[in-house]
């Protein structure tokens, strides 16, 4: 601001007198020189106008003070003395009754502040979002691999009768499947028995030796499905007539000449040891 | 009994452990402190938090209050002002008379101040009476620097005298007057410039 003297008042002095001038505290002589400077000074004149206008704008705010939240006193007392106010909230608001909508909104605000906001803050964390996304993606993959389609889920009938029907259908399918497996096993067992019964008798050891000598093909010997755990001194029983005496015969003529053991058998033994 | 005597008695009772006296102090001053905080901070949530902080500080330091050094309201205003300045420094909200075309930060989807005024179409005298205009002035107030803002709030909104303000702000009385006048002029220029733009 230029240090300019006009009508006995400098610009700096004008600014210092400004507050008192606005509140009417200047003496008559001071006020006259103040007004004279205002009229001629290109800086101080507009300044006074702006200050007056700003004061008027601010007074408009002062006309209607802001009403604090209804729970402010309660919160202050809880945070300081810890003693809950003996006065009601209505008394805090100078006896005004609160509309139901406002009370509901206050209750909802406090409820959401205590429950939803912490949860929402946790859910908004990138770590949680990534984990949730991965879980969702995994479930989607698993369901699509299992053939579950959202359209099918929407068509599911959840009535008790429909659920009972679906349960019965599933049970019938399981029983049929089990029975089919059992039938197949039985058929296979029968076929195996028939094959065994129709298989020709294996040639004796002497004939096998002879065949091996005459074999000039150079190919290795055929695999012999024999029970090598059988001992040489075990008796080989053949079909006997009922009541015929049994004399043990030792293979290759090796064996002791123990007394003949007579056993009455009416059984048929297999020649092969499987 | 005078106001100062009543408050002095309440303070003595409160320091002696009378919870009812403390509640009476809270009931007497919470509106005034909330309004100062609201006009300075700009929004209700911050104002509520700051008001609670002021009373917590008061509750802890009430035994240090000396009635001989000044009025209780001046002491309370000093506490409030210090907390507001601390809050301003923490928030780093350097809002010194920035452009009117920038929307306020707490109302992201709000119109710029110039567009808000453009909706009026009323002469200034009629605007002053409207609630929307008060909101507009409140927004413009947030654009003042903290020094000018606190000075005009205490003088024009809280109607404190210059000496009390000087005590609360711990600056000379001349500085207080200068800040108040600069704050008023700056606020008027902000609003008038915008108003001229839209005419």
Lowest mean pLDDT of A3-7, A29-33, A228-232, A267-271, name the range.
A267-271
Among the listed ranges A1-10, A173-182, B145-154, which one has the minimum average pLDDT value? Answer: A1-10
Mutate to test the interface with A, among B16, B21, B25, B26 (most CBs of A within 10 A): B26
Closest residue by Cα to residue A16 from A4, A32, A40, A34: A34
Residue-level pLDDT at A209: 67
Chain A residues near residue B20 by CB distance under 8 angstroms: 86
Give CA angle at B190 (B181, B41), nearest 5°: 75
Average pLDDT, chain A: 74
**Residue B52 to residue A147: CA distance in whole angstroms:** 60
What ipTM was estimated for this complex?
0.76
DSSP letter at A233 equals: T
For residues A27 and A178, give the distance between their C-alpha atoms in angstroms, rounded to a whole number.
Answer: 116
Residue A60 confidence (pLDDT): 83
The per-residue pLDDT for A202 is: 62
* All domains of chain B in start order, with CATH: 1-93 (1.10.1740.10), 94-199 (1.10.10.10)
- Write out chain B residues lying below 8 Å of A69, CB-based: 44, 48
Residues of chain B scoring pLDDT < 70: 1, 92-129, 194-199
- Judged by a CB distance cut-off of 8 A, whether residue A88 touches chain B is no
**Mean pLDDT, residues A249-267 taken together:** 45
pLDDT computed for residue A226 by the predictor? 56
Lowest mean pLDDT among A62-66, A146-150, A238-242, A269-273: A269-273
pTM of the predicted model as reported, rounded to 2 decimal places:
0.53
Tokens coding B95:
């809002």
Q: Which of A75-79, A156-160, A246-250, B51-55 has the lowest mean pLDDT?
A: A246-250
Q: What is the mean pLDDT of residues A184-194?
A: 92
pLDDT the model gives residue B76 = 93
Q: Do B184 and A50 touch (CB under 8 A)?
A: yes
Residue B196 corresponds to which tokens in the numbers above? 């001229």
For A52-73, how does the pLDDT look when each residue is reduced to its tens digit (9 = 90+)? 999 988 988 888 888 999 889 9
Average pLDDT of the residues in A111-129? 74
Q: A154 pLDDT band (50/70/90 cuts)?
A: confident
The DSSP secondary-structure symbol of B34 reads H
In angstroms, the CA B175 to CA B155 distance is 13
Closest CB to B52: pick one of A53, A76, A83.
Answer: A76
- Residues in A closer than 8 angstroms to B156, CB to CB, are 55, 58-59, 61-62
Q: How many contacts (CB atoms, under 8 Å) link A and B?
A: 129
Cα within 13 Å of Cα(B157), Cβ side: 30
**CB of A128 closer than 8 Å to CB of A122:** yes
Weakest-pLDDT range from A136-150, A183-197, B95-109: B95-109
Give the tokens for residue A257: 């000449």
Could B156 and A62 be called an inter-chain contact, meaning their C-beta atoms sit closer than 8 Å? yes
Site of tokens 């004149």? A45
- Alpha carbon of B41: minimum distance to chain A alpha carbons (Å): 13
Contacts 24+ apart (CB under 8 A), B115-118: B117/B191, B117/B194, B117/B195, B117/B198, B118/B198
What pLDDT was estimated at residue A255? 44
Closest residue by Cα to residue B105 from B139, B55, B58? B139
* Residue A263, pLDDT score: 44
Mutation target among A70, A76, A92 for the B interface, most CBs of B within 10 A: A76
Please say if the pLDDT value at position A2 is more than 50: no
Q: Report the residue of A18, A57, A110 to disrupt the B interface, i.e. the one with the largest count of B CBs within 10 Å.
A: A57
Contact (Cβ atoms closer than 8 angstroms) between residue B180 and residue B161: no
Which range (A87-96, A207-216, B144-153, B188-197) has the least confidence? A87-96
A204: pLDDT confidence band, cut at 50, 70 and 90? Answer: low
pLDDT computed for residue B2 by the predictor: 78
Per mean pLDDT, which range of A124-128, A194-198, A204-208 is the poorest?
A: A204-208
Q: Judge whether A73 is closer than 8 Å to chain B, CB to CB.
A: yes
Q: What is the DSSP letter of A9?
A: E
Q: What is the pLDDT of residue B109?
A: 44
């Amino acid at each position: 601001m230029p240090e300019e003297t006009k009508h006995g008042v400098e610009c700096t002095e004008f600014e210092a007198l400004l507050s008192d001038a606005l509140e009417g505290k200047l003496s008559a002589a001071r006020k006259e020189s103040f007004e004279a400077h205002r009229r001629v000074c290109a800086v101080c004149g507009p300044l006074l106008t702006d200050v007056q206008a700003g004061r008027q704008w601010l007074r408009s705010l002062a006309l209607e003070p802001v009403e604090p939240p209804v729970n402010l006193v309660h919160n202050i007392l809880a945070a300081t003395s810890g003693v809950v106010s003996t006065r009601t909230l209505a008394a805090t608001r100078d006896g005004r009754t609160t509309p139901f909508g406002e009370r509901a909104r206050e209750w909802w605000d406090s409820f959401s502040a205590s429950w939803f906001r912490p949860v929402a803050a946790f859910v908004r964390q990138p770590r949680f979002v990534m984990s949730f996304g991965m879980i969702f993606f995994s479930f989607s993959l698993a369901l699509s691999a299992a053939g579950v389609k959202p359209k099918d889920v929407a068509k599911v009938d959840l009535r008790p009768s429909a659920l009972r029907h679906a349960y019965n259908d599933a049970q019938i399918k399981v029983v049929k499947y089990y029975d089919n497996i059992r039938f197949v096993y039985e058929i296979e067992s029968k076929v195996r028995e028939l094959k065994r019964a129709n298989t020709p008798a294996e040639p004796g050891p002497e004939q096998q030796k002879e065949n091996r000598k005459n074999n000039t093909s150079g190919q290795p010997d055929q695999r012999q499905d024999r029970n090598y755990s059988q001992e040489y001194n075990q008796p080989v029983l053949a079909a006997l007539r009922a009541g015929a005496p049994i004399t043990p015969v030792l293979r290759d003529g090796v064996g002791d000449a123990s007394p003949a053991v007579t056993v009455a058998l009416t059984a048929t033994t297999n020649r092969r040891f499987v | 009994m005078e106001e100062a005597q009543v408050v002095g008695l309440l303070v003595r009772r409160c320091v002696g452990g009378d919870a009812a006296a403390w509640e009476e102090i809270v009931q007497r001053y919470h509106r005034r402190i909330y309004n100062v905080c609201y006009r300075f901070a700009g929004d209700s949530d911050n104002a509520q938090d700051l008001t609670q902080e002021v009373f917590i500080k008061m509750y802890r330091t009430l035994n240090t209050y000396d009635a001989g050094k000044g009025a209780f309201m001046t002491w309370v205003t000093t506490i409030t002002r210090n907390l507001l300045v601390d809050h301003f420094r923490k928030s780093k909200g350097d809002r010194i008379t920035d452009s009117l075309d920038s929307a306020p930060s707490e109302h992201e989807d709000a119109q710029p101040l110039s567009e808000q005024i453009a909706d009026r179409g009323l002469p200034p005298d009629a605007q002053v009476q409207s609630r929307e205009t008060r909101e507009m002035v409140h927004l413009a107030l947030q654009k003042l620097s903290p020094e000018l803002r606190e000075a005009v709030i205490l003088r024009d909104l809280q109607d404190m005298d210059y000496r009390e303000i000087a005590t609360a702000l711990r600056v000379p009385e001349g500085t207080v007057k200068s800040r108040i006048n600069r704050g008023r002029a700056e606020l008027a220029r902000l609003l008038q410039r915008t108003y001229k733009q839209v005419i």
